[in-house]
């Protein structure tokens, strides 16, 4: 009997002795972060994400869309680890509702809007007032009901007193990337898009004066229900760190304390 017991106990004792090593191994296994991000981050976050994946061995699944709709998804319980909004008000609202980790809130850049046309377009607007001219028949902006860049476009039109004149020409994109696609496909003549989608891409663009709309201060935060908060915090810091900041600047984002002339 004593021999049988010894045989049965030995494997269990070996497992217990190895438990710390197994736990360490499991903790080091690659994970996949789910990052919901405003559509203006499409290009830059993919580039930053690729660097982070290479350095850490972890993976990122990006969910790009309009900030308002992404915020609604988080409120509905969508499994998101990190949320990068195109306007800080959405992060602050989620914080009030207890849905993000408060001490992870951080500004990561200020967005700007541009007049954007295809490279082969005969139209070349220099001022948003030009869009009232008859040759501009269809103008795309992001839906101002839920997209911060659409809100900024509407504010710019209102600032120069042409909102009512422009409304009949408007084609609304669900997000700022779809807005640009309307121009790319020739379905509209011109679009008001993010500077981050205008630079480093074929097309003609003109920066819209920042004083025509409220600042597009963009903020991120770790979602409280995230199962990978440590890694989500690391990626957030990476975006605002020495590897991420130069890329954010490359794609036209205005970093805190900087301006675009």
Domains for the chain: give ranges and CATH numbers: 28-110+217-250 (3.40.190.10), 111-212 (3.40.190.10)
The greatest distance separating any two alpha carbons of the chain, rounded to the nearest whole angstrom, comes to 98
Distance from C-alpha of 255 to C-alpha of 240, rounded to nearest angstrom:
9
Cα–Cα distance between 32 and 228 in angstroms, integer?
A: 9
Q: According to the annotation, is 179 in a ligand binding site?
A: no
31 is in an annotated binding site: no
Angle (CA) 16-22-28 rounded to 5° is: 160
Q: What is the pLDDT along the chain (261 residues), one digit of tens a residue?
A: 444 444 334 444 443 455 444 344 345 689 999 999 999 999 999 999 999 999 999 999 999 999 999 999 999 999 999 999 999 999 999 999 999 999 999 999 999 999 999 999 999 999 999 999 999 999 999 999 999 999 999 999 999 999 999 999 999 999 999 999 999 999 999 999 999 999 978 999 999 999 999 999 999 999 999 999 999 999 999 999 999 999 999 998 988 767 655
Sheet bearing 32-38, strands edge to edge: 59-65, 32-38, 82-85, 216-222, 106-111
pTM, to two decimals: 0.84
């Amino acid at each position: 009997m004593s021999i049988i017991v010894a045989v049965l106990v030995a494997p269990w004792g070996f497992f217990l002795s190895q438990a710390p090593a197994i736990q360490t191994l499991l903790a080091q296994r690659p994970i996949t972060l789910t990052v919901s991000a405003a559509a203006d981050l499409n290009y830059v976050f993919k580039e930053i994400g690729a660097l982070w994946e290479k350095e850490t061995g972890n993976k990122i699944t990006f969910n790009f869309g309009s900030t308002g709709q992404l915020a609604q998804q988080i409120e509905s319980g969508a499994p998101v680890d990190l949320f990068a909004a195109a306007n800080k008000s959405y992060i602050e609202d989620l914080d009030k509702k207890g849905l993000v980790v408060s001490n992870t809130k951080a500004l990561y850049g200020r967005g700007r809007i541009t007049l954007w046309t295809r490279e082969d377009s005969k139209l070349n607007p220099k001022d948003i007032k030009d869009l009232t001219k008859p040759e501009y028949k269809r103008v795309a902006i992001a839906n101002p009901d839920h997209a911060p860049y659409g809100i900024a476009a509407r504010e710019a039109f209102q600032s120069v007193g042409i909102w009512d004149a422009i409304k009949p020409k408007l084609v609304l994109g669900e997000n700022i990337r779809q807005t640009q696609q309307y121009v790319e496909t020739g379905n509209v003549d011109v679009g008001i898009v993010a500077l981050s989608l205008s630079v480093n891409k074929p097309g003609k663009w003109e920066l819209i004066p920042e004083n025509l709309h409220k600042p597009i201060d963009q903020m991120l935060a770790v979602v409280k229900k995230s199962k990978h908060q440590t890694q989500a915090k690391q990626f957030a810091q990476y975006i605002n760190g020495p590897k991420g900041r130069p890329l954010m600047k490359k794609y036209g984002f205005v970093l805190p304390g900087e301006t675009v002339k």
